[in-house]
Structure 1
């Protein structure tokens, strides 16, 4: 049983390393579960933290000759789990609930034999990031069924109003709203540019406008979603709009990167078969990624498939990011070959340079938002988790601005004629690059 418990604690550590859903009022149903450790939710408490726990329909497969003080709920920090693991390995304790490090919320020995429900309120004055955990130290033999209603919040300011957003995330509504205003401003500016340069506008420019608008709407809905959760503990339907616009934004953004990478509308008005296949791969993968994201957000880590869905989301996201790079590589290869053969060295060299720059920027954007931001969220104190959101949004904003600036409608751009001197200079540069490669 000790091995089973230690394995479960390792699983809990893995779960806490992932970015958990923003805490709110949560309803959890456990049915005939024998797991020794079940993480319910995570929350960053200030010195005015509160936990309200309402558990009903409690059903244990047996109560005979069992010490029910080894079955119940407790709070612990991530560091606490490391010490609990050491205690279990050293044989100092046989159950996580026996540890003097964890904070017991309620154990089932306090539940009268003729009752199947209880309510309790826990006051947390030590500010830290805590995980609410259900422990069943008879895991594997004792089946537990119950319905859990949990609410974790902090009392905000002198008014002592309930703040259901975790410490470190309570500022997120303002951050998302601020960035949504920026994107609405960018959309307005882009509309002005399209009108002013309407004679040189391509279809791809309207696609870029759609991406900016979807991003703005996505951020606005996320701001309202977090704002309602902050005040009431529930999103009140704003999460549905958030998922819709997030889904559309994800598909349109990756499609835009593929279209720009292929040179569609700029270099050619059509897509080749292999480029169409990339889109046919990226779009369904984005659908799967968004479904996984909904499952992750709407369920807590107690769900046995939660980690699986998290891994699916990360895998699909990585595949999408890799897939959109291929069209840019193909365009760079085609432009390099064309620069040697069609006699327009300067034009193709400038196109080649532009697509090289875009390729580098896309890689940097993907690496920063998928790796650096995740690492920042992992190592940052729970009080400053909002900084990872700001970093991600700033990187995304920079990527949007770079894309718009480099591929804006322009009468004199790299896709049109260049004078003879520039042509000769470009030809010499291409010759030098070929010799350098050799």
Structure 2
């Protein structure tokens, strides 16, 4: 039977690698659930870490033993060993237990036997990591519920608290790896507000050459700054009290606005709107009509993932939906840039302005490379950093992501800032001839 649990153990472990560890005080309700393994939360503990689990309103089949249901803690490394041994039972030196609760790799917290023994059926267990004679040591642990009775449906209300105790006795509800994240978000929020002031000055100084796209870019900077500000406040209050006090709502609102504006700005810049032409073609409108609804769905999926956690039955599906939509948006925003590059190449053959066309072509190629680099780093490299980095340094992936994002914003805003047209292309006859030769050579190579 233990071998059947391997997929259930492996899925939450794999998906936990793609989200930073964090926790807060949560009250969750499980209704008629027959899953063998349920991951509630992951958390990085210090030597003074503690876990408090309160279970009430418990319901399970009377024909099943109450010892077959319970909660346990297990580190990521031990979970890998647990899955490996369960998939290869013949190579194990000793028979594997029939239930995850009985495995030597896990730290059992309690079973339903202790819950049922409580007159009110309202049971609370406090577990001190690395203290009070417990064999556990500081690490990143997952809090799991195990149902070792086949096809048994369980209902219960679970309240979880995971925190580290500071030297002064106060509680820190953020995982070890997230302790520095609020400061990182606050720092970059200030940087984006400074960027917004600088951008407003540039647009005002060159107001005769500013376009509607520049106003949209200013709105993007404001949304990004507020997104990081409310993210910092969300984590700050969660760290101190265990709940975000409503800051999470503002965080999701401005995260949504920022996401929609970012992809919209990239698409509009990629089409050359306001720079090359004052209108959008039908195919470009279709890209926007696809990207914006996809971003709405992606942000809803992100909110579900962030607020519910992996205990939800459809959590894995929501995670997959978010990843697929994100990939689709990343691919969609590249098409307008490619179309603009092709249009410029075709125009260069007939407009007689080779130098101007070559300069624009070079500009859009740089933008195309920058967009690909930004998307690749934030979608792939950052996930790799989260996977290989120790739980104590998970903040490093956040720092890397925000640094690269800020660099991308600086590049994009600098390359497409408002300025006089003739300053872009102050050319003489020799430069014009050199540009024509470069375009002919490029066409020949293609």
TM-score of the superposed pair, with normalisation by structure 2: 0.94
Provide the aligned C-alpha RMSD in A. 1.5
Greater Cα shift, 190-199 or 341-350: 190-199
1:214 aligns with 2:223: yes
Any residues of structure 2 matched to 1:8-87 within 5 Å, and which? 8-19=8-19, 22-63=22-63, 66=65, 68-87=66-85
3-state SS in 1 of match to 2:50: strand
Do the aligned partners of 2:20 and 2:394 also contact (CA within 8 Å) in 1?
A: no
Q: Distance in 2 between matches of 1:20 and 1:173?
A: 13
Deviation readout 1:23-48 (Å, 9 max, x if unpaired): 11111111111111111111110111
Any residues of structure 2 matched to 1:3-402 within 5 Å, and which? 3-19=3-19, 22-63=22-63, 66=65, 68-88=66-86, 89-90=88-89, 91-113=95-117, 115-125=120-130, 126-140=137-151, 142-156=152-166, 158-402=167-411
Q: Distance in 2 between matches of 1:283 and 1:328?
A: 17
Greater Cα shift, 231-240 or 190-199: 190-199
Which residue number in structure 1 is paired with residue 92 of structure 2? none
What is the Cα deviation at residue 63 of structure 1? 4.6
What is the Cα deviation at residue 423 of structure 1? 1.3
Q: Distance in 1 between matches of 2:327 and 2:203?
A: 33
3-state SS in 2 of match to 1:100: coil
Greater Cα shift, 422-431 or 147-156: 422-431
Q: Distance in 2 between matches of 1:360 and 1:379?
A: 27
What is the Cα deviation at residue 197 of structure 1? 1.5
Q: Distance in 2 between matches of 1:435 and 1:112?
A: 81
Q: Distance in 2 between matches of 1:414 and 1:258?
A: 25
3-state SS in 2 of match to 1:18: coil
Q: Distance in 2 between matches of 1:86 and 1:386?
A: 29
Q: Distance in 2 between matches of 1:266 and 1:15?
A: 42
3-state SS in 2 of match to 1:286: helix
Q: Distance in 1 between matches of 2:226 and 2:185?
A: 10
Q: Distance in 2 between matches of 1:365 and 1:79?
A: 32
Q: Distance in 2 between matches of 1:193 and 1:10?
A: 52
Deviation readout 1:183-212 (Å, 9 max, x if unpaired): 000001111111111222122111111111
Q: Distance in 2 between matches of 1:346 and 1:384?
A: 49
Do the aligned partners of 2:41 and 2:309 also contact (CA within 8 Å) in 1?
A: yes
What is the Cα deviation at residue 104 of structure 1? 0.9
Do the aligned partners of 1:347 and 1:417 also contact (CA within 8 Å) in 2?
A: no
Return 5+ residue gaps in structure 2 as ranges: 90-94, 131-136
What is the Cα deviation at residue 417 of structure 1? 6.6
Q: Distance in 2 between matches of 1:287 and 1:170?
A: 30
Q: Distance in 2 between matches of 1:362 and 1:182?
A: 21
Deviating beyond 4 angstroms after TM superposition, the runs of 4 or more aligned structure 1 residues are: 412-417
Q: Distance in 2 between matches of 1:20 and 1:395?
A: 18
Q: Distance in 1 between matches of 2:59 and 2:409?
A: 54
Q: Distance in 2 between matches of 1:112 and 1:417?
A: 84
Return 5+ residue gaps in structure 1 as ranges: none
Q: Distance in 2 between matches of 1:112 and 1:396?
A: 52
Q: Distance in 1 between matches of 2:190 and 2:289?
A: 33
How has the CA–CA distance of structure 1 residues 112 and 289 changed in structure 2, closer, same or farther, with 3 Å as cutoff? closer
What is the Cα deviation at residue 115 of structure 1? 4.3
